[in-house]
Amino acid sequence: DAGVTQSPTHLIKTRGQQVTLRCSPISGHKSVSWYQQVLGQGPQFIFQYYEKEERGRGNFPDRFSARQFPNYSSELNVNALLLGDSALYLCASSQQTGGNTGELFFGEGSRLTVL
């Protein structure tokens, strides 16, 4: 069974550029969440999408945006990149939108370096 897949795995951008990261959830999962993991820290919640609608947003600026497509895949966009946006961006999928018992299945991440 295919797990959560993310692309690209690594990328390098310069300050001020824009980046798009992609995520395909596990088949049958309708919820996709995005997390940012800065080196040496735990992941921080960015967004959750369910059935193509934003269900939750973390404490991130408006430069961060996302969307979910009819096939439940998702894109995370970051505009006007800053050095501090350098991080591992993790995508996770699950079968449900809310509650607290559903397991999140994580991809291996996209490592973004901003120079």
Partner 1 sequence: AQSVTQLDSHVSVSEGTPVLLRCNYSSSYSPSLFWYVQHPNKGLQLLLKYTSAATLVKGINGFEAEFKKSETSFHLTKPSAHMSDAAEYFCVVSDQKTGFQKLVFGTGTRLLVSP
Helix ranges (DSSP H) in 14-84: none
Smallest separation (angstroms) from partner 1 to the CB of 70 = 21
In the DSSP assignment, the letter for residue 83 is G
**Rg of the Cα trace of the chain?**
13
Binding mask of the shown chain, residues 57 to 96, with x at each position contacting partner 1 by CB under 8 A: -x-------------------------------x-x-x-x
106 touches partner 1 (CB under 8 A): yes
Q: What is the DSSP letter of 63?
A: T
Q: Which of 8, 16, 61, 102 is the binder for partner 1 (CB under 8 A)?
A: 102
**Rounded Cα distance, 96 and 85, in Å:** 29
Return the residue of 13, 30, 45, 86 that touches partner 1, per CB under 8 A: 45
Q: Tell me the per-residue interface mask from 21 to 40 with partner 1, x by CB under 8 A, - otherwise.
A: ----------x-x-x----x
State the Cα–Cα distance between residues 89 and 8, nearest whole angstrom.
10
